[in-house]
Each structure stands twice: as structure tokens, then as C-alpha cells.
Chain A
Amino acid sequence: MNKKARTRAIRENLSSYAFLTPWLLGFFLLTLYPMLYSLYLSFTEFNILQPPKWVGLRNYFIMFIGNEQFPRDERFLNSLLVTFRFVFISVPLKLAFALAVAMLMNQRLKLIPFYRTLYYIPTLLGGSVAIAVLWRRLFAGDGVLNTILRSAFHLNPPAWISNPKYALYTLILLSVWQFGSPMIIFLAGLKQIPKEYYEASSVDGAGKVKQFFAITLPSLSPIIFFNLVMQMISAFQSFTQAYIVSGGQGGPLDSTMFYSLYLYLKGFGFSEMGYASAMAWVLLIIIAALTALAFKVSGSLVSYGSGE
């Protein structure tokens, strides 16, 4: 390479990096540095007023093992359990529901744009504090649902929100209710499946159920997989709804103590920022491990078509 070409290449690179500068600065200052700093804090005791004090693996020890001097944090394990239950019930239910409705809509109906709008409204509104306060009143002991159950069916229903057995399920319901985005994506995916596949298989005498498992599911598998991973990642981080519905306490009896809610209470309620940082890293590892697992399993289950 001669000198002229080299200076041109350098200039070309520099001017490209100029466009990338804001993002690069953001990445180093607001993502990478904070990540490494929270990793460091996770090995310390830190209450923001005094400088961090190195305690080695103690925070992690308290989370999972514990001894007489540093008893195990049962509330942490409980929050982990609650969150797992929430994620592994709500995400598959949401996707199944989204797929079912998308298949119902995958016909030549004139009103599809209208229906798509109708079904997207819960997703549009569901993440707000407004809907969370509504949920709190809908499922309260003297709330709307129970008023209807009592007057119309003469039942004696429990107070859903304040009963530790049911409180989590009201949040799961709220999450499944917001199935609009995956539904729209599935609908777009279903439209891509060539009609000939179905025609050919009905000539061969395949029924609807067989067609679903032999054609629909395999064709949609990349989309389903992608949605599964993204929904899972965001479900693990759910905060607002649990905070509002439980009045900021994760109650009753910690039954809605989501991981991120407990992290918030530990870090900003009790000022145990070292411990909260350790919790953040445990969450990162859990999400990374589950994502990696999903990718590994998908290798054998997801078919990306033969054309590409």
C-alpha cells in the first residue's frame, strides 16, 4: 500500500468513527464502566455514605449458602423462586395465547387491521402505573371481579391481591393480557407460509392438527424462538406492576417479591448496595445461561428453511 492510499484509509476510518462516537462514549461510560464497577461492588459492603469495604465472596455466600455468623438470605431465594415461577408460567402462556389468536385471525377477514388494533391496546397500556392501580382494584377483596362474582354467581371468592396463594397469578394474568406484540409478529409470520404447503398436505390427507405440527410450528419456529428469548429477558426484569400492585413491598408474605423489586429494596431501601450489585450480577448470569441454553436447544428444534 502506498502512502497516499494509507492516509486515505485512515481518514475514511476516522470519519466513520466520528458517527459512532456518541454511542462509543455511552458504551464505555454508561455501560461497560458501570458493569465492571458493579462487579467490584458485588465483593464489597457499601452503603453509599462510607467507601466500599472489601468482603470477598460474602454477598454471594449469604445468597446461596450461609452459616451461623452470616445466615442465608431466605428472602433472596424466595424472590428467585417467585420470579422463576412468574417467567416460566407467564411467557409460555403469553406466546401460546398470541399464537392461537394469530391463527384465528389468519384468514381473509376484512376487519383484520381493526382487530390488530383492538388486541394491541392491552400491550399499549399494560406497562403503565395506571393499569397497575386498576389491577389492584379489580382483584381486591371488595374489587370489581368479586362484586360481579358475588352478585351474579353468589360465590364467596377470596381477596385475590391480598392472598399469598393467588397474588402472583394476578400479575401473571396482567402479563399474559399484554400478548399484542407477539401476536402481530406471529400473524406476519403466518402470512409468509406458502399456501401450497397446506394444499399439498390436505391432498395427502393430513388433518388440521397434523398440519399444525408438521407445517405451522416448524415454519414459525425461528420467530417463536426469538420471541421466547426476548420475552424471557424482559419478564425477568419486571418491576412496575409488582411494585404498584403490592404497594412497593412485594407482599402479601413476599409472594410477589420479584427479583428486581427485592434488588431495589435492598439497594435503595436498606442501602445495601454491595449486596444489590451482587444480585444484579447473579441475574445477568442467570439470563445469559438461559439464553445460551435456549440457543443450544434451538439448534436442534428450530428450522430456518432450506432456501437460505
Chain B
Amino acid sequence: MKKRSAGLIRAAISNVIILVLGVGMLYPVVWLVAASFKESNTIFSDPSLIPKTFTLQNYVQGWKGIGIVGFATFFKNSFIICGLSVIANVIFCSLTAYAFARLRFVGRKFWFAVMMLTLMLPTHVTTIPRYIMFRSLGWIDTFLPLVVPKFFATDAFFIFLLVQFIRSLPKELDESALIDGCGKFGIYMRIVMPLTMPALITTVLFTFLWTWDDFFNQLLYLNSPAKYTVPMGLRLFVDSSGMSSWGPMFAMAVLSLVPCFVLFFSLQKYFVQGITTTGLKG
């Protein structure tokens, strides 16, 4: 009895420490959300988390953006780029992963090692030649340089994730399908793909998040505001820093985080699964 109550007290203390620490960590994010509803001139004079005067003005003004192009365009562009990237990664990374995990062919070990090496390669060694290539194709200031590489399964991380997952599936299923006369593609479509669904959802999530936040490549390839993405639109506010633009900037910053939040909370368990099966990123 005595031991049990000691355990309860310890659990209670741990709970309190974890909660206080967690809330402290999230303070900046909560402050950001609160600030986006404050009037521009009170944002910094009022450090409290509950705005004294509640206004939507920042959102209205921020949505218009700076200059002619507004956030409706930026969001549309970001969604197009993310959507195409997600489709490409789901199809091509999983086909590649299926080949590495299940098919037999000469040189499989060698190519797998090569693929794992590309996982560790700093992107900078390919950045400049790719830029020159895409420029000579006339792709600068289009979405193509951001999207087309994904159709060639260049995101080795997801191949690795899916290979790990497919290897954990029982092989007997493939074999029985083979006896039933399924070809390789048939086995992939009817057996492997449906069973890898959890890992594919993880792929969707992380592809979306990382593409959404891929500021470096967007900065490199998108020049005209009509082509800008959400992060690029936010940067415009930073460049024209002045007291009056902070409110709208915070409002749009909050909006830019909403898609990530929605995805995360609707598909939480796949996040944890994805992180633990590959042990990666962040």
C-alpha cells in the first residue's frame, strides 16, 4: 500500500514536470496565435496571451499580401507543388522500394547501397548543376524544378522508409499470389501496396510537410510574385519590416501553419510510426 502511494506521487510529480515543460515550450507558438488577433500597435506592449482587444483586421490585411499578389495565390501555389510532390513520391518511391525489398535481380545489393549513400549526400553538391540544367530547359520561375525530380524517386528517405516496412510483411502472401498467377506488378498492386498503406500515409505526411517548408529550393527557382509559395510570401513581410506589417505577418504565419497542424492531428499515429520505423529527421 505504502509502495503504491509512493508510486502515485512519483507519477504525479512526473506529470506536473512534463506538463509545465511542455507548456513552456509551446509558449512562443501560443503567443504567435494570440498576437495575430491583437491590434498592431499593442502587439509588443501587451505581452499577455489573451488580447485586450480582439481583431481580425490582421488577417484581412495580411491576406491581401504585399504588392499586387495576395496569399490566395501563394496558398494555391504551395498546394499545387505539395500535391504533385505527394503523388510522385507515393507512386515512385513505393515502386522503387518494392523492387529493393522483394524482387531479385543482379546488382540489387550494390544499388541498395548506392541508394543509402544518396540519403547521406548533402544536397548542395547537386544544387548548382541542377540549376544550370533546369535553366537551360527554360524551367526557371516555374514549378517544374521543384516537382519533376520527385517523379524520379529522388527522395531516398521515403524509399528507405518503405523498404523497411515492406520487409516486415510476411513473404508467404506474395508467394501464394505468385502461384495464383499474379505478375510482379499484380503482386505490388494487390498485395504489397494495400498492406503498406500505413507507411504510404507517413510518406504523404512528411512529403507534404517538407515540401511545404522547402524554402531553399523555392527561393532558388521562383522569381515572380505570381509564382511565390506561402513561405516566400511570408518573407516579403520580413523584407518590408515596419511596425504596421507585424500584425498581418503574424496572422499569415499562423495561417501558414494550419495545414501542417490539420494533417498532424488527423493522422497522428502514422507520424509516430514513421518516426520510429526509420528513426529519422527533424
| B212 nearest CB neighbor, chain A only | A128
Q: Which single member of B120, B126, B213, B271 contacts A35 (CB below 8 Å)?
A: B126
| A267 nearest CB neighbor, chain B only | B128
Query: Any chain A CB within 8 A of the CB of B125?
Result: yes
A230-B18 contact in complex given A121-B29, A277-B128, C-beta closer than 8 Å: no
Query: Any chain B CB within 8 A of the CB of A138?
Result: yes
**Which residues 1-47 of A have a CB within 8 angstroms of B?**
12-13, 15-17, 19-20, 22-27, 29-31, 33-35, 37-38, 41
Query: Any chain B CB within 8 A of the CB of A158?
Result: no
Complex interface: stretch among A58-66, A206-214, A238-246: A238-246
Q: 0/1 per residue, B179-220, Cβ < 8 Å to A?
A: 000011000100000000000000000000110110110011
For A129, what are the chain B residues with a Cβ–Cβ distance below 8 Å? 213, 215, 230-231, 234-235, 253, 256
Query: Any chain A CB within 8 A of the CB of B139?
Result: no
How many residue pairs bridge A and B at CB < 8 Å?
253
Q: Is B124 touching A279 in the complex (CB atoms < 8 A)?
A: yes
A27-B47 contact in complex given A16-B104, A109-B11, A128-B256, C-beta closer than 8 Å: no
Query: Any chain B CB within 8 A of the CB of A184?
Result: yes
Complex interface: stretch among B52-60, B65-73, B90-98, B170-178: B90-98
Query: Any chain B CB within 8 A of the CB of A182?
Result: yes
Query: Any chain B CB within 8 A of the CB of A86?
Result: no
Q: Is B253 touching A133 in the complex (CB atoms < 8 A)?
A: yes
Interface of A is mostly: helix
**Which residues 236-274 of B have a CB within 8 angstroms of A?**
237-239, 246, 249-250, 252-254, 256-257, 260-261, 264-265, 268, 271-272
Q: 0/1 per residue, A258-281, Cβ < 8 Å to B?
A: 001001100110000100110111
Query: Any chain B CB within 8 A of the CB of A76?
Result: no
Q: Is B234 touching A133 in the complex (CB atoms < 8 A)?
A: yes
A31 to B153, CA, bound (A): 11
For A137, what are the chain B residues with a Cβ–Cβ distance below 8 Å? 246, 250
A180 to B264, CA, bound (A): 13
**B25, B100, B125 pick with most chain A CB within 10 angstroms:** B125
Q: 0/1 per residue, A190-207, Cβ < 8 Å to B?
A: 000000000000000000
Q: Is B130 touching A133 in the complex (CB atoms < 8 A)?
A: no
For A101, what are the chain B residues with a Cβ–Cβ distance below 8 Å? 18, 21
Q: Is A27 touching B118 in the complex (CB atoms < 8 A)?
A: yes
A107-B14 contact in complex given A34-B126, A48-B135, A121-B29, C-beta closer than 8 Å: yes
Q: Is B29 touching A23 in the complex (CB atoms < 8 A)?
A: no
Query: Any chain A CB within 8 A of the CB of B26?
Result: yes
Q: 0/1 per residue, A106-128, Cβ < 8 Å to B?
A: 01110101011111111111011
Q: Which single member of B44, B216, B260, B281 contacts A128 (CB below 8 Å)?
A: B260
Q: Is B99 touching A236 in the complex (CB atoms < 8 A)?
A: no
For A122, what are the chain B residues with a Cβ–Cβ distance below 8 Å? 25-26, 29
B271 CB to closest chain A CB, in angstroms? 7
A10 to B31, CA, bound (A): 63
A124 to B262, CA, bound (A): 11
For B135, what are the chain A residues with a Cβ–Cβ distance below 8 Å? 48
For A179, what are the chain B residues with a Cβ–Cβ distance below 8 Å? 282
Query: Any chain B CB within 8 A of the CB of A159?
Result: no
For B238, what are the chain A residues with a Cβ–Cβ distance below 8 Å? 133, 136, 244, 247
Q: Is A30 touching B130 in the complex (CB atoms < 8 A)?
A: yes
Chain A residues with CB under 8 Å of chain B are 12-13, 15-17, 19-20, 22-27, 29-31, 33-35, 37-38, 41, 48, 101, 104-105, 107-109, 111, 113, 115-125, 127-131, 133-138, 142-144, 147-148, 151, 177-182, 184-185, 188, 223, 226-227, 230-231, 233-234, 236-237, 239-240, 243-244, 247, 260, 263-264, 267-268, 273, 276-277, 279-281, 283-284, 287-288, 291
Chain B residues with CB under 8 Å of chain A are 10-11, 14-15, 17-19, 21-22, 25-26, 28-29, 31-32, 44-45, 47, 92, 95-96, 98-100, 103-106, 111, 114-115, 118, 120-133, 135, 149, 151-154, 159, 183-184, 188, 209-210, 212-213, 215-216, 219-220, 230-231, 234-235, 237-239, 246, 249-250, 252-254, 256-257, 260-261, 264-265, 268, 271-272, 275-276, 279-282
